[in-house]
């Protein structure tokens, strides 16, 4: 059986572990959001370039 001192140490270790996991998850979440935003911008830029190229080609063929 654990005494109070051991129980406090275990509780403190568990709290520190939970905080570390929480911070890691926040970091991953933030990076995921950043990656989604970069992907959105790249996709938007790609389709804008394709649309512009199609419009230019259409105008040349008139």
Predicted TM-score of the model (pTM): 0.64
> Could you tell me how many residues make up the chain?
62
- Written as tens digits, the pLDDT of the chain (62 aa) is 679 999 999 999 999 999 999 999 999 999 999 999 999 999 999 999 999 999 998 888 87
Q: What is the 3-state secondary structure (H, E, C) of the chain?
A: CCCHHHHHHHHHHHHHHHHHHHHHHHHHHHHHHHHHHHHHHHHHHHHHHHHHHHHHHHHHCC
pLDDT recorded at residue 45:
98
């Amino acid at each position: 059986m654990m005494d109070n001192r051991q129980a406090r140490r275990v509780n403190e270790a568990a709290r520190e572990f939970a905080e570390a996991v929480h911070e890691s998850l926040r970091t991953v979440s933030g990076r995921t959001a950043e990656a989604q935003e970069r992907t959105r911008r790249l996709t938007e830029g790609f389709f804008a370039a394709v649309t512009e190229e199609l419009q230019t080609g259409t105008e040349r063929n008139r």
